[in-house]
Structure 1
Amino acid sequence: MKYYVLVALMCVTSLSFAQITMSGVVKDSIGQPLELTNVIAIVPESGGLESYSITDSKGYYKLSLAKNSKFKLQITAIGFKSIQEEIVTKEEDIKRDFIMKIDDALDAVELTYEMPVQIKGDTLIYNADSFKNGTERKLEDVLEKLPGVEVTEDGGIEVEGQRVQKVMVDGKDFFDGDTRIATKNIPSNVVDKIQVLKNYSEQRQLSGVRNNQDNVAINIKLKEGKTNFWFGEVKVGGGASTDEALYVAQPKLFYYNPKYSLNFIGDLNNIGEPALNGRDLRNFGGGFRAPSTGSGTNLNLGTNVGNFLNTNRNRVERIESKLMAGNFSYSPKESLDFSGFVIYNTNRVDVRERSSVQYTDPDLGIPDENTTQDARQGTDNGLVKFSTRYIPNVNNQLDYDILGRYTKEEQRQRFVSSVLGGTSQFDENDPFSINQNLNYYLTLNETNIFAFEAQHLFQDEDPFYNAIIDEKDTYQNTAEVIGLDLNQANFDLVQDRRIKTNQFDGKLDYYKVLNKKSNLNLFLGTIFSRQDFDSRIFQFLDDNSTFDPTPLDDLSATNDVRYSFSDLYAGVRYTAKVGAFTFQPAVSFHAYGNNNFQNGQEFGEDFYRILPDVEIRWDIKNSENLRLTYNMQNQFTDVANLAQGLVLNNFNSLFVGEPTLENGLSQNVNLRYTNFNLFNFTNIIAFLTYSKREDQIRNIVDFESVVRNSTVFNSPFADETFTAFGRYQRTFGKIRAEFQANFNYSKFNQIIGGNRSTNENYTQSYRPGIRTNFREAPNVNLRWQYSIQDVDQGTRRNQIYTNAPSIDFDAYIWKSVTFRTDYTYNSVDDGTNVNTFDIWNATLSYRKERASKWEYEISATNLLNTQSRINTNAGNISFSLQETFIQPRFLSFRVVYTL
């Protein structure tokens, strides 16, 4: 592996030495430097872009050009006459200054070649063709080549370190702006411009008074000829593996015009490439944002998804997926918009894991355990959303959204333990929810603005769990605690739960514009939540009858809990801009009600709390700023932690809640620096965060052999986390280099075996990387991930070292063949053992020319036929090694037809 990385680095270095630098200063006629002037060099024969630069505040530019070549130089700036000259390079660098004359006619600047990057206010515009080399197939392939843009493993998009909130196509939400659906499905060949919208706001009236600095959106502008016309692609194929025949069918069809748009995505495959998995859909929020976000109250309504194993595509033995998704938008008139989507998705997944757990404290008397898990999961998801927006004039806006979600999921799992023996488990859950959102915005006049935002959630969950425990002797003590009938051939344990949630979240804002640089925000809001929690544990007997157990220690095998939470709050926020600084202090006053009723008793309290919030921002210059934030948050649990009857997390983890739990309080500080330099495409991101949490809900844990018995309490010991992160990225001509470092420290407390257990975790990671983006030559992307996890478990200290170098390679050959391959090597060293695995994938595609409608593709995944992935983890009282079996080598042939 080191040899191949070295060869790739030598190739990249040799290509960089084949260039010279042309640099200088661009000034106006009186000698003043011109900032943000476009300087581009074009290859005369092909008309292709060789290099480009945007002048900095001193008017300085720099181009990287091939030696002994001829180029056409073009210099443009708004309000000035353009300069066009021919230059010839030799072996030496070139120094050249330019003087631009004012264009008295003020005609539009005539460009013979589009600039790769432009800035217009808060909008950063990338010309997609300037970064393409012919190997791209999806939107994510283009985004990864843009300076300052990152695509994460989960399909998220980051611009200058900030998460993109939504993706639009020609100004219309693409499946409600979900970034994963967009990056994985929008064809690269239809993308003309990529507009990064900073300080994005969907409410024009609030754009000048509300803090939108964390809001970033992307709008994809389609190429000419793609509107009023169907476009997309249809992919079909098949192949073979060691176990079964393979198939794939993926139609993707899109239609856009100024009045309406239609999008359809289909997927049918068993090659391990699901368009969406269950986790993606569970996290799919449909664009909803709670009005109370930022109020200082954090109510955690947990999702009761049972004991379902992780089904990330890289952690399963087999996955079969089906998807039908449709999205529409319609504007019958300029003031009225309708939009919505329908998504139906099914996944059938096989998971196999093998684990080894060593407990670090011998005084606890917990035996080490080896386990295997074989599971088959089935998930059906359905989502429907409808939205409407009415803007009759610039002073009024009304929005309404409704999202319905239904899921049917089940899992059958065989669990074998070296301590407890074999257990067959079955999980089933059919949850559904309806989320509604109503917003109204009114501009009374230039200095008075009102905003009303309300959201209602209804959610119904019914997780069912069944465990058949083969070996009674190893489970005897736990069975007695639960109160099971011991005179049976085995223990057939069952749990039914039902959790209903009703939550209203509403807020009224009043903005008073004091002057051009300051405003006052008065707000009044409320959160009201009601949860009903019912559960029952029972036993199937040998004669198929049921038995209701009576647990020991006065516990109950049933729960019937009614939990209500309310927060009525009012506050004020002041925003003032003083020079390059923006100050935004705020304070909110909260009246809380937190009560639960169970077993004929009522628990809870009413109390008051004042929560401060402050943000200070220093805009050092364009695209460079430093921001400091501080806030206090009240954190509240959901009903599951309050139920004092016995609950099975699973057969080897028993839980009892605490009805007298109180809220936790956290104090959070964040210092963030960002700098994006368009002159040399340097992107710097750094931040420090510190959080101190008091009265947090933590666990009290006891063990019976390897069976975990736990409850919760408000910890009197403060928990702390500290994170430091930095990333430096710079583009040198066609080469982009970056270095990323991260340090994290966390400390949390719990009670284990009657003693306080303080767990301190130090994690540091480093990731250097270099990638090229040559138009003709092959391109590589080299990365090296190195991390150290240092865990102080009190009685033992563990260090885990992870090395993960990787390389991606792509080449566009003979203007018809695309070859892409990626290789990743992983090494995990826990100080005793070194575990390794590697993954190699490759794709070879042929299309007669770029504009050809037909493409033929051979794809190979896991070429080395790696059987499993290894993960090592040091917890608070244990050290574990987990082996997850993955999909075998797949070979498939595919045909793609482009509309």
Structure 2
Amino acid sequence: MDRLFKFYITILILLLSRVCFSQSYSLNGVVTDSLQNPLPFTNVLAKPTNPEVEMAFSIADEEGRYKLILEKGQEYLVSIRFLGYRPYNFKVKLTENSKKNIQLKPSNNELDEVIVISDQAVRVREDTITYKTDVFKTGEERKLRQVLKKLPGVEVDKKGGVTVNGKKVNKLLVDGKDFFGGGTKLGVENIPADAVDEVEVIDNYNEIGFLKGLSDSDKMAMNIKLKKGKKKFAFGDIEAGSGTGKHYLLHPNLFYYSPKTAVNFIGDLNDIGVKSFTIGDYLNFEGGIGKLFTDPSSYFSLQNDDLSAFLRNQDFKAGTNRFAAGQVAHTFFKKLDFSAYSIFANTDTETETQSITTYITDTSENKELKSVNSRLNNQFLISKLSLDYAPNSKEDLSYSGYLKTNTNNRENNIKTISQSLTDDFLTFNNVDALTVKQNMEWHKKLSVKHTFSTTVNYFFNKNDPKTNWLTNKAFLPELLPLIDEETYNINQIKNRKTHNLDLLFKYYWVLNNTNHIYTTIGNNYLNDVFSTYEFQKLQNGDNNDFEKAGFGNELNFSLNDLYFGLQHKFKLGIATVKYGASLHHYYWKADQKNDYSKTKNILLPDFLAKIKISASEKINLRYNLKSRFSGVSNYANRMQIQSYSTAKIGNEQLENELYHAVRLWYTKFSMYRGIILNASISYNKKLKGIKNETVLSGINRLYHPILLDHPEDSWMISAGVRKSLNKFTLKFNGSSNFSNYTQILNTDIYKNKSNSHRLKLELSTNFKKWPNLDIGYSKRFNKLITPTIESNYTFDEPYINLEYNFLNDFYFKADYMRTSFKDNTDHKNIYEIANAELEYHREDSMWSFKIKGTNILGVDYKNDTRISGFITSENRTYILPRIWLFTIVYKI
């Protein structure tokens, strides 16, 4: 492995040497108008007359300054473009650093403006940046990902996430319409590069145009504009391949666009472990179906549902993925838009994990050695239908309907060895779930001063998890009233049905240009029916019911939140401030064997200040007092089995959590200096919080949630800086988390501290004819201090990504990462992952050929360590073996 790492380093040294020895000079100056006023964000483009030399580009900053790095002795045609002014061109050949100030003259005809608009590489206007992609393309780009990575200030991560000037893109559009729900991953990985004309980035994005400036949005959207010649056309590609071990891949991407209709299809069939739909995609789809207001499922944690738990697992020994996604959008007439999509996936995976877990208290230390072999099948269908009717520019009506069905089947073979239990378990878990969401919104601008929005959200969820444990030895002996048999057959049946209706009305009153008053009235009603039934299936067919031992729940939980909010928004100089409060009247009832109900009023203040120092420098401060209720299972006051070693008993007297949340963040970018800077600091302090009271006996645990005063506070500090210099970009990111929290173990109350830090440094290149590298180093520090544990551990991850276009028709890419772990006992774990791909494609051909290698170092497993409270765990997760795959791509 050292040889591979040295190979990458050698390439980087050669590239650095080339840059050092290929002399270049700078051309800089100031762009002004005839009155000597600077013209910010002016495009300055230098095109070489020698086709072997790379183009140079610069955007003037707010003072009109520009800088070009040009090769010595090469002739360039420099073009200056600014909307409203005549284009300015000149030729230059540098033999030393030079300065040239430019004075532009106003345009006196429309033709000049058309030329400027068509030629501008980057247009900056208030909250919108538009990139003309052909200026930055070099010809070898296959997908949208490669195009975006070449745009100034744009970054794309491995998971398909996109950031612009350090800010995350929340929604992806194609010609102004959502692309499969707006997530970036499917578009970034599948839209062909040659179909893209412009990339438009819209900050403070709002789907309702006339609400911009009224409703505060911190979202950023990216709109992919297709080429004019491709306004009515079909395009895409189909990839098929086969490889070692009978592995296979089939991946079609088909797109059809016309002025009124768009049809997209993305498919994937493979057994190489690639999941086309990930946990990030799921959370994006589930995050909300409405345009403006929060989703009615905000009371629930998506991170913990059965489907997200399955999607989060990315490491497995074998995996077959069947995926299909289709979308259709149609404009019936200018006022009515229709769109619908469906996403289907069926995935089979096999996993294997081994772990050593230590349970530590003041008086004992128990170890558990465990191995788990699992077979999983997950099948889900997600569909959404939307209608949007805008009769005029001052009114918008919309409807969205959402349907999700999923079935999870899991079979676990567990071997566990501990002081209290040595046994083999065979467990089966089956989940069938149905979710329906409906959203209706009406927004209307009554006059310049008066606007209103109203929304109705309905949410329905039904799921019926069933779990079966088969074992030769009794488990949870202190809780379960088991009857001795040769084989213990333990069953659990859960049923949950949720209804949630959310009504909201918001009124915007514009007093004048600097003062607004916002009034909100709403009601959120939740009804959650939850039941559990645990029993032992005896060999004679009878059921040994655990009800008399305190198991079995029948809970009907209801919660109503009636609220009224008032906010004042004003502008003072460079600052925009909004402050206010909402009064909430809560009524909740837990209807079970011991009924409990309560009424409560609470005032939740909020504050937001946005300071715009300049178009490229901003400071924001947000404060909220937040209230949150727990999930329904925490209110069920009888026991329920969670695993062979854990059980839980809820608490019907739980109330809402209450916590302060403060965040201060700063952003600045300078296109002239090539710097992007982001920094933020957040503080959360819980006034009342829910914590589990844990009874630990050996490895067996019983959890009981209770409400504590001041149980937790945390700080999070993060910063990032990105500096571009010629063909190199240097990036640094760092973050620190400090938290103090309470833990209750065997009636003792512990105060714990957890600190974590992460540093990441990366150097990347952007050459046209030379290999391009991303070489970086990431380091994580973690420290946990409890009365029973004090641990320090670190993760080190050097990595290198390589991309190289050579001999006109060949494209090679590879990536390598080395992960090493070390704790304060000098215990070490190391594993290395590397992948590679070689593609051959002639520019005039519809065919491409690829050879892909994954896990080419043949690593069997990954190691990691997890520490939380009184539990430490060392884990080994087995992964897919080395796979070589040959694929053929046909471009439509």
Aligned to 2:190: 185
| Equivalent position amino acid for 1:240 in 2 | T
Q: Equivalent residues in 2 for 1:453-468 (5 A)?
A: 453-468=455-470
Could you say if the C-alpha distance between residues 847 and 152 of structure 1 is closer, same or farther in structure 2, counting changes exceeding 3 Å?
closer
| 1:559 partnered with 2:544 | no
Please report how far the alpha carbon of residue 828 of structure 1 lies from its aligned counterpart in structure 2 after TM superposition. Answer: 0.7
Please report how far the alpha carbon of residue 93 of structure 1 lies from its aligned counterpart in structure 2 after TM superposition. Answer: 1.7
Please report how far the alpha carbon of residue 292 of structure 1 lies from its aligned counterpart in structure 2 after TM superposition. Answer: 6.1
Pick aligned residue for 1:14 from 13, 17, 23: 17
Q: Deviations over 1:141-187 (max 9, x none)?
A: 33334333333444332333433221111112111212222222222
| TM-score normalised by length of structure 1 | 0.95
Please report how far the alpha carbon of residue 809 of structure 1 lies from its aligned counterpart in structure 2 after TM superposition. Answer: 0.6
Q: Deviations over 1:349-394 (max 9, x none)?
A: 111111111234351x341111111101001101121110011112
Which one is further off, 352-361 or 321-330?
352-361
Aligned to 1:885: 878
Aligned to 1:252: 253
Aligned to 2:233: 229
Equivalent-residue separation in structure 2 for 1:310 and 1:444 (angstroms): 48
Could you say if the C-alpha distance between residues 792 and 202 of structure 1 is closer, same or farther in structure 2, counting changes exceeding 3 Å?
same
Aligned to 2:852: 859
Q: Which structure would you say has the larger RCO, counting Cα contacts within 8 Å and 6 or more residues apart?
A: 1
Aligned to 1:41: 46
Aligned to 2:338: 338
| Equivalent position amino acid for 2:481 in 1 | G
Please report how far the alpha carbon of residue 129 of structure 1 lies from its aligned counterpart in structure 2 after TM superposition. Answer: 3.3
SS in structure 2 at match of 1:405: strand
Contact 1:49–1:130 (CA under 8 A) maintained in structure 2:
no
Which one is further off, 462-471 or 664-673?
462-471
Pick aligned residue for 2:485 from 475, 485, 488: 488
| 1:220 partnered with 2:224 | yes
| Equivalent position amino acid for 1:586 in 2 | G
Aligned residues: 882
Equivalent-residue separation in structure 2 for 1:286 and 1:655 (angstroms): 29
SS in structure 2 at match of 1:368: strand
Aligned to 1:127: 132
SS in structure 1 at match of 2:275: coil
Q: Equivalent residues in 2 for 1:727-876 (5 A)?
A: 727-831=720-824, 832-849=826-843, 851-876=844-869
Please report how far the alpha carbon of residue 131 of structure 1 lies from its aligned counterpart in structure 2 after TM superposition. Answer: 3.6
Which one is further off, 284-293 or 139-148?
284-293
Please report how far the alpha carbon of residue 521 of structure 1 lies from its aligned counterpart in structure 2 after TM superposition. Answer: 0.7
Across the aligned residues of Structure 1 and Structure 2, the Cα RMSD in angstroms comes to 2.2
Aligned to 1:97: 101
Equivalent-residue separation in structure 2 for 1:144 and 1:586 (angstroms): 41
Please report how far the alpha carbon of residue 471 of structure 1 lies from its aligned counterpart in structure 2 after TM superposition. Answer: 2.7
Aligned to 2:273: 272
| Equivalent position amino acid for 1:10 in 2 | I
| Equivalent position amino acid for 1:46 in 2 | P
Aligned to 2:354: 354
SS in structure 2 at match of 1:108: helix
Please report how far the alpha carbon of residue 48 of structure 1 lies from its aligned counterpart in structure 2 after TM superposition. Answer: 7.7
Equivalent-residue separation in structure 1 for 2:320 and 2:302 (angstroms): 28
Contact 2:716–2:737 (CA under 8 A) maintained in structure 1:
yes
Q: Deviations over 1:68-120 (max 9, x none)?
A: 21111111222333221111122x22222223333344643435984442212
Please report how far the alpha carbon of residue 551 of structure 1 lies from its aligned counterpart in structure 2 after TM superposition. Answer: 5.2
Q: Deviations over 1:562-581 (max 9, x none)?
A: 10001111111111111101
Please report how far the alpha carbon of residue 223 of structure 1 lies from its aligned counterpart in structure 2 after TM superposition. Answer: 2.4
| Equivalent position amino acid for 2:581 in 1 | V
Equivalent-residue separation in structure 2 for 1:115 and 1:757 (angstroms): 62
Please report how far the alpha carbon of residue 283 of structure 1 lies from its aligned counterpart in structure 2 after TM superposition. Answer: 5.6
Could you say if the C-alpha distance between residues 282 and 578 of structure 1 is closer, same or farther in structure 2, counting changes exceeding 3 Å?
closer
Could you say if the C-alpha distance between residues 498 and 275 of structure 1 is closer, same or farther in structure 2, counting changes exceeding 3 Å?
same
Please report how far the alpha carbon of residue 761 of structure 1 lies from its aligned counterpart in structure 2 after TM superposition. Answer: 0.8
Contact 1:291–1:454 (CA under 8 A) maintained in structure 2:
no
Aligned to 1:441: 443
| 1:609 partnered with 2:602 | yes
Equivalent-residue separation in structure 2 for 1:757 and 1:548 (angstroms): 37
Equivalent-residue separation in structure 1 for 2:589 and 2:746 (angstroms): 30
Q: Deviations over 1:336-355 (max 9, x none)?
A: 01100112110001111111
Please report how far the alpha carbon of residue 503 of structure 1 lies from its aligned counterpart in structure 2 after TM superposition. Answer: 0.3
Contact 1:656–1:710 (CA under 8 A) maintained in structure 2:
yes
| Equivalent position amino acid for 1:561 in 2 | L
SS in structure 1 at match of 2:55: strand
Please report how far the alpha carbon of residue 4 of structure 1 lies from its aligned counterpart in structure 2 after TM superposition. Answer: 4.7
Which one is further off, 587-596 or 34-43?
34-43
| Equivalent position amino acid for 1:369 in 2 | E
SS in structure 1 at match of 2:838: strand
Q: Equivalent residues in 2 for 1:9-408 (5 A)?
A: 9-17=12-20, 18=22, 19-46=24-51, 50-90=55-95, 92-105=96-109, 107-109=111-113, 110=115, 114-212=119-217, 214-241=218-245, 245-277=246-278, 280-281=281-282, 284-285=285-286, 287-289=288-290, 293=294, 299-300=299-300, 305=305, 312=312, 314-363=314-363, 365-408=364-407
Could you say if the C-alpha distance between residues 678 and 808 of structure 1 is closer, same or farther in structure 2, counting changes exceeding 3 Å?
same
Contact 2:667–2:677 (CA under 8 A) maintained in structure 1:
yes
Pick aligned residue for 1:531 from 528, 531, 539: 528
SS in structure 2 at match of 1:142: helix
Contact 1:291–1:507 (CA under 8 A) maintained in structure 2:
no
Equivalent-residue separation in structure 1 for 2:349 and 2:875 (angstroms): 19
Please report how far the alpha carbon of residue 291 of structure 1 lies from its aligned counterpart in structure 2 after TM superposition. Answer: 6.7
Aligned to 1:699: 692
Please report how far the alpha carbon of residue 630 of structure 1 lies from its aligned counterpart in structure 2 after TM superposition. Answer: 0.7
Q: Deviations over 1:668-691 (max 9, x none)?
A: 110000112222332111000000
Could you say if the C-alpha distance between residues 128 and 716 of structure 1 is closer, same or farther in structure 2, counting changes exceeding 3 Å?
same
Identity value in percent: 27
Equivalent-residue separation in structure 2 for 1:167 and 1:291 (angstroms): 16
Contact 1:281–1:381 (CA under 8 A) maintained in structure 2:
no
Could you say if the C-alpha distance between residues 63 and 302 of structure 1 is closer, same or farther in structure 2, counting changes exceeding 3 Å?
closer
Equivalent-residue separation in structure 2 for 1:346 and 1:289 (angstroms): 28
Please report how far the alpha carbon of residue 278 of structure 1 lies from its aligned counterpart in structure 2 after TM superposition. Answer: 6.8
SS in structure 1 at match of 2:383: strand
Which one is further off, 370-379 or 131-140?
131-140
| Equivalent position amino acid for 1:585 in 2 | Y
Could you say if the C-alpha distance between residues 16 and 516 of structure 1 is closer, same or farther in structure 2, counting changes exceeding 3 Å?
farther
Equivalent-residue separation in structure 2 for 1:580 and 1:375 (angstroms): 58
Please report how far the alpha carbon of residue 793 of structure 1 lies from its aligned counterpart in structure 2 after TM superposition. Answer: 2.1
Could you say if the C-alpha distance between residues 692 and 294 of structure 1 is closer, same or farther in structure 2, counting changes exceeding 3 Å?
farther
Gapped regions of structure 1 (runs ≥ 5): none
Equivalent-residue separation in structure 1 for 2:803 and 2:201 (angstroms): 26
Contact 1:133–1:773 (CA under 8 A) maintained in structure 2:
no
Please report how far the alpha carbon of residue 294 of structure 1 lies from its aligned counterpart in structure 2 after TM superposition. Answer: 11
Please report how far the alpha carbon of residue 66 of structure 1 lies from its aligned counterpart in structure 2 after TM superposition. Answer: 1.4
Please report how far the alpha carbon of residue 28 of structure 1 lies from its aligned counterpart in structure 2 after TM superposition. Answer: 2.9
Could you say if the C-alpha distance between residues 571 and 151 of structure 1 is closer, same or farther in structure 2, counting changes exceeding 3 Å?
same
Contact 1:229–1:256 (CA under 8 A) maintained in structure 2:
yes
Which one is further off, 807-816 or 282-291?
282-291
Could you say if the C-alpha distance between residues 5 and 233 of structure 1 is closer, same or farther in structure 2, counting changes exceeding 3 Å?
closer
Contact 2:560–2:588 (CA under 8 A) maintained in structure 1:
yes
SS in structure 2 at match of 1:370: strand
